[in-house]
Amino acid sequence: MKNIDDGVIKYDHSDFTLTNPLELSEYKEIEKLRSVLFQIKLIGCYEQNSVGYGNISCKKNYLHLFNAAKPQFLISGSQTGNLRELSGKHYTRVINYDIEHFKIQTHGPLKASSESLTHAAIYEANNNINVVIHIHSQKIWEGMLKDHLPSTSALIPYGTKEMATAVQELIYYSQKNYFAMQGHTEGVIIFGNNFKQALEDTLFLYQKYVDSNFFLDINY
């Protein structure tokens, strides 16, 4: 069952600089990972209402655009989950943010994902994290909750300041590289030091809760 407000941007995104599409070299590696997630429908679109779900980001150095003391990253754009392949028109740069005031500063060809501040909070919580994935899967979500794996409170909705704060607390105290969002039905977040680790942890959950026979040979 999907959330009615999936994909709705709740933070202040008025500080947005529109640019030309990104060059392939800037998003090629992250798109390789996203294509796998789309293939197994962990990123995609709800047919009932055409609302896209799922997003992905990776840490980048954009100090030439804005001299920020906080982590900067590349993230898939708002409502791109329905697209099989993303191009330079579909990724954008988060060059600064303010969790306390629920604001984000972006630079790219479109608005950033509605979960951008959650991604920012994760990068801020642990400097070793370089990749963040937000997937949707009823089976994985339910399985994680049943097995009492890390999760945020059911009282905390997605894309909020409270969610950003809650995920930081989880990362501080949990030994896992993933957690379910009880207040965001089907929503699961996986993070890692690199693309390979993030993909391996995602596929671990997929094999455990969706398809134990699934195998994918992909090199990183």
Sign of CA dihedral 182, 13, 29, 41: positive
Cα–Cα dist 178/94, whole Å: 22
Number of neighbouring beta carbons within 10 Å of residue 133 = 27
Work out how many domains the chain is built from and give that number. Answer: 1
Q: Does 216 map to a domain?
A: no
Asked if pLDDT for residue 3 goes beyond 50, the answer is no
DSSP letter string, 14-78:
EEEEE-PPPPHHHHHHHHHHHHHHHHTTSSEEETTTTEEE-EEEEEE--TTT---SS-EEEEEBT
Residues in the chain: 220
Who contacts 4 (Cβ-Cβ below 8 Å, separation ≥6)? none
Q: Does 6 map to a domain?
A: no
Sign of CA dihedral 122, 97, 18, 67: negative
Asked if pLDDT for residue 98 goes beyond 50, the answer is yes
Q: Does 5 map to a domain?
A: no
Name the pLDDT band for 2 (thresholds 50, 70, 90). very low
Compute the average pLDDT of residues 57-85: 96
Cα–Cα dist 216/203, whole Å: 9
Q: Does 57 map to a domain?
A: yes
Q: Does 194 map to a domain?
A: yes
- DSSP bridge pairs for 124: none
Name the pLDDT band for 10 (thresholds 50, 70, 90). low
DSSP letter string, 135-176:
EE-HHHHHHHHHTT--EE-TTS-TTSHHHHHHHHHHHHH--S
Q: Does 4 map to a domain?
A: no
Q: Does 215 map to a domain?
A: no
Domain coverage including residue 126: 12-209
Could you tell me the CATH number of the domain that includes residue 176?
3.40.225.10
Q: Does 109 map to a domain?
A: yes
Name the pLDDT band for 137 (thresholds 50, 70, 90). very high
Asked if pLDDT for residue 218 goes beyond 90, the answer is no
pLDDT digits (tens, 9 = 90+) for 12-58: 667 899 999 999 999 999 999 999 999 999 999 998 888 889 999 99
